Structure 1
Amino acid sequence: MAVLPDTEPTSKKYISLEELKKHNKRDDLWISIHGKIYNVTNWAKHHPGGDLPLLNLAGQDVTDAFLAYHPINASKYLQNFFNGYYLSDYAVSEVSKDYRKLLSHFSSIGLFEKKGHGVFFTLWFMVILFCASVYGVFFNDNPFVHLGCGGLMGLFWIQSGWIGHDSGHYQIMATKGFTRFAQVLSGNCLAGISIAWWKWNHNAHHIACNSLDFDPDLQHMPFFVVSNKFFNSITSYFYDRKMNFDGFTRFLVSYQHWTFYPVMCFARLNLFAQSFILLFSKRNVPNRVQELLGLLVFWIWYPLLVSYLPNWSERILFVIASFSVTGIQHVQFCLNHFSSSVYLGHPSSSEWVEKQTNGTLDVKCSPWMDWFHGGLQFQVEHHLFPRMPRNHLRTVSPFVKELCKKHNVPYHCVSFWNANVLTIQTLRNAALLARNLSNPIPKNLVWEAVNTHG
């Protein structure tokens, strides 16, 4: 794995980084890898990770991002897109040099290939949870057992989420075909969430980690904002629309630190909706019909299971229990990023390590609790090495800490409790600012009713 480009003959054609930056549009998309320039304009729509990662990093040297997301053998395909130019002012920072050395070392000892038995145990755990939940509904008349079965279904969905997350980053099964089967079964069929939507959303999040206008995982208006920069009604480049901070949004945001956990209990509804919005959109969605059929399976078996309960009160409680328990996972997704550093604007590949560590937070936990966090407890490590199977994240954590310490790069790690505290503090700070802007926008009737006379 090269760190610095070889000395090139003077006959080679060179362009500067400033010139490269001009080629940053959908119909004119160039990138640099190891100082060589590639024209990926026509490839973007065929890119397995979607076109957004390429569009978001267009006109930049993307060496670190490319190495993070692709195995070494992917480099052999680059020549098809080489346009004959080299980057004249290509340089590698000291932190990037050490980062690439770590990547090379982890690859040489097989950490990206050795997946262990984590997926096997997770799948069997899912089978047990699912069968126990269904058995309790069909063969027990106790309403408290039915309520507990709803909770088990929520735990089942959490574990299916970890499988979906892992399979979006690396091949979790022996072949790509079996991996795809596991994705659609655990995600679409059993959890009601399109794996195509998940990969589209999650790839954009990783590339633009904690960019307010490019990272979809921070764009939760009108319910939540993590920065007062949202008060300026910024444009989401992921959803391709303006996020308006109107009176209704201000009202909800002003109390977001109180509504955070209740909303998380039903955040799954948004994932259901986003799955269908993508699959019925005009975007290029691979295996669209297969994805839709998988969701259809979910919307057949889950309502049928709920309908088997004896009355409406038990049915509603079962749904609330299953949604609320899986809400724990939605909280976990937020803990890793909400209280971390945010910025406005395009993601920068030249500061790959710094952007990933600044925008992420690790959670301390004992090894026996790794099943609960699904790898998110090592979020810094995961963002730096997204192809790393989660059973190795604890192994590489000391190396990442040393890298950050050597180059004075932030490495944040707190307990699960403190991660919740930091998240609520972030939401509260933004909420108080939303209530006290010097030039308030027109207040709606709800705002007036709540805030009259202080």
Structure 2
Amino acid sequence: MGKGGNRSELQQTGDEVPSDLETISWDEVSKHNGLLTEDRSKWLVIDGQVYDITSWAMKHPGGRRLLSHYAGQDASEPFTAFHPDSQKVKKYLKALTVVGKVEQREARKDIESDFSKLRTTAQQMDLFKPKLTFYWIMAIHIILMDLFAYLNMLYFGVGWITFAVAAILASTAQVQAGWLQHDLGHLSVSKSRTVNRALHAMTMGCLKGASGNWWNHMHYQHHAKPNVMNKDPDVRLEALFVVGENMPKKIAEEGKSVMPYNHQHKYFFIIGPPLLFPVYFQFMTFYFCITRREWMDLFLMMTFYVRFFMWYIPLLGIFKAFLLFEVMRVCESIWFTWVAQSNHIPMNIEEDTGKPWLQLQLSATCNIVQSAFNDWFTGHLNFQIEHHLFPTMPRHNLHRIAPMARSLCKKHGIDYQLKTLSSALVDIVTSLEKSGKIWFDAYYSLRHDL
């Protein structure tokens, strides 16, 4: 094929690979990752066909970055994972230029085939079918906690006890609304994509005061390439923390370290969980809406703030109402951050090597033991492995696929980690301490050599 000349303009659906397409080597495909070729072209593979996504990446509903993360790679498995209606979505592939075809790599054939069979089994068991009763209960208990936080002070008066009760109830409602919007964002609550999207925007905006589109932009990248440096937004090369074994060395080599990372396991308690929501998220969600002109998201967000302060300013005054808001955000942030990071920070964090879907997700995720409390406390993210393998599966069904996922991992020699909640939380701190030590040794070793 060379550098992309004589491209076939055949418009295919992706179900079968036409025999008259020219075969392209995987080495050639890998060059078109948006960086190596002179024209910055981007190709990706879906079901054996090579597509040119250079222009389409800008139009992709999930965002340019999400699609570009798989440029030069096989995107067949994530394509299926992210699209519950994959046969319908495949029709949109007709708009793309088919460059050629590739042969399936033998080294990945067995593991990809077995994972495909597991997905088929899950479909046959109706594990992608949501239980609306479950989600109604989730929604009602969130609304009631939010309402009781207000009624508690309205009827019992304003005092430190009622203030504390309001803060606890409001914070809990925010966290649980976060788990609910997570389900909606993954299209797992309704069979209709449109209904999921609409309810997601409303839940994020009206119940949480945040942008649904901002969340999608960030979170889908995380799922596409979890714990992959410079692709997963959660493990970008940031200035405050270094994680894993490779990132600390990279930061040390750059010589631009501005934090005492060898103490990060200590200052994590101060500037990590407590400040993620009230500072970073609070700023970014507004910044995203304004710079991307997401006016509907901004409008929905404002309904939350108008409602919150109309409730509490008449009772508390302006200062105490803002204090309640900040206490709520800090408590929510601590809860969310510890839960979300317990499944990821202690795991492998590395450069992108184009691993098959099963290996990619298992290297970056672990599970927490099941219990009624853990299910509720984590929003069923104690089944993080299964959630990452099947991101559109309703969370109430994740425990049913877990034994089969574990068996598949055992067959292929893939580590399937299951921890207690307490050990998972402790592992966050120990992994930060380990990464900080790696940075310290690398940084001062380089300075000594100079």
Preserved contact between residue 366 and residue 417 of structure 2 (Cα < 8 Å): yes
**Aligned-partner residue type, residue 257 of structure 1:** H
Q: In structure 2, give the amino acid aligned to 1:170.
A: L
Amino acid at match of 2:41: D
| Gap runs ≥5 in structure 2 | 1-13
> Which one-letter code corresponds to 2:405 in the other structure?
V
The answer for the alignment partner of 1:336 in structure 2 is 343
Write out aligned runs for 1:24-43 (5 A): 24-25=33-34, 28-43=41-56
The answer to whether the 8 Å contact 1:25/1:58 transfers is yes
Alignment of 1:1-400 (within 5 A): 9=19, 11-25=20-34, 28-71=41-84, 72-73=86-87, 74-83=89-98, 85-88=100-103, 90-91=105-106, 92-141=108-157, 142-173=159-190, 175-219=192-236, 221-227=238-244, 229-231=246-248, 245-247=256-258, 249-250=259-260, 253-262=261-270, 263-269=272-278, 270-281=280-291, 288-310=294-316, 314-315=320-321, 318-326=324-332, 327-344=334-351, 346=352, 348=354, 350-367=355-372, 369-400=374-405
**Distance apart, 1:39 and its partner CA:** 2.2
Displacement of 1:292: 1.2
Deviation at 1:334, TM superposition (A): 0.7
Q: How far apart in 1 are the matches of 2:367 and 2:387?
A: 10
CA distance change for structure 1 residues 353 and 174 in 2, over 3 Å: closer, same or farther? closer
Output the CA distance in 2 between the equivalents of 1:44 and 1:7. 22
In structure 1, the residue corresponding to 2:67 is in which secondary structure? helix
Task: Name the CA distance, whole Å, in 1 between partners of 2:144 and 2:440.
Answer: 48
1:117 deviates by 2.4
Q: How far, CA to CA, are the matches of 1:441 and 1:192 in structure 2? A: 46
Q: Report the secondary structure of 1:113's partner residue.
A: coil
Q: State the secondary structure of the residue aligned to 1:31.
A: strand
CA-to-partner distance for each residue in 1:103-161, whole Å, 9 max, x for gaps?
12212333223344221111001111111011123333232111110111111111111
Q: Which amino acid aligns with 2:262?
A: S
Whether 1:419 aligns to 2:428 is no
Helix, strand or coil for the counterpart of 1:255?
helix
- Aligned equivalents of 1:131, 1:41: Cα separation in 2: 49
In the TM superposition, residue 100 of structure 1 has moved relative to its aligned partner by 0.6
Sort the Cα spacing of 1:169 and 1:424 in 2 relative to 1 into closer, same or farther, 3 A.
same
* Amino acid of the structure 2 residue aligned with 1:75: K
Q: What percent of counterpart residues are identical?
A: 24
- The offset of 1:256, in angstroms, is 2.3
Task: Quote the Cα distance in structure 2 between the aligned partners of 1:201 and 1:214.
Answer: 10
Q: Could you tell me whether the CA contact under 8 Å between 1:111 and 1:388 is conserved in 2?
A: yes
Contact 2:368-2:420 within 8 A present in 1 as well: yes
Of 101-110 and 354-363, deviating more is 101-110
Q: Distance in 1 between matches of 2:188 and 2:99?
A: 33
Per-residue deviation, 1:353: 1.1
State yes or no: 1:403 paired with 2:403: no
Alignment of 1:435-446 (within 5 A): 435-436=440-441, 437-439=443-445
1:53 to 1:298, Cα distance in 2 relative to 1, 3 A: same
Unaligned runs of 5+ in 1: 236-242, 443-454
The CA deviation string for residues 26-85 of structure 1, in whole angstroms up to 9 with x for no partner, is 862221112112222332222222221210110112111112112332334334425151
Q: Are the counterparts in 1 of residues 62 and 220 from structure 2 also a CA contact under 8 Å?
A: yes
Partner of 2:8: none
Q: Distance in 2 between matches of 1:397 and 1:193?
A: 32
Q: 1:356 to 1:192 in 2, by over 3 A?
A: same
Assess, with a 3 A threshold, how the Cα gap between structure 1 residues 53 and 272 changes in structure 2: closer, same or farther: same
| Secondary structure of the structure 1 residue equivalent to 2:43 | strand
Cα deviation for residue 205 of structure 1 reads: 0.6
Find the residue that maps to 2:42 and give its secondary structure.
strand
> What corresponds to 1:431 in structure 2?
436
Cα 1:75–1:108, aligned 2, differ >3 Å: closer, same or farther? Answer: farther
Is the CA contact (8 Å cut-off) linking 2:370 and 2:382 kept in structure 1? yes
CA distance in 1, matches of 2:101, 2:326: 57
Identify if the C-alpha distance between structure 1 residues 335 and 211 changes in structure 2 by more than 3 Å, giving closer, same or farther: same
Helix, strand or coil at the partner of 2:444: coil
> What SS is found at the alignment partner of 2:101?
strand
Q: Secondary structure in 1 aligned to 2:393?
A: coil
- Range with greater deviation from structure 2 (38-47 or 350-359): 38-47
Which stretch of structure 1 is more off in the superposition, 433-442 or 394-403?
A: 433-442
Does structure 2 conserve the Cα–Cα contact (< 8 Å) formed by 1:36 and 1:86?
A: yes
Q: CA RMSD in A?
A: 2.9
User: Contact between 2:248 and 2:438, CA under 8 Å: does it hold in 1?
Assistant: no
The AA in structure 2 aligned to 1:342 is I
C-alpha offsets along residues 249-274 of structure 1, whole Å, 9 cap, x if unaligned? 22xx3332223334312321211111
**Deviation, structure 1 residue 89:** 5.5
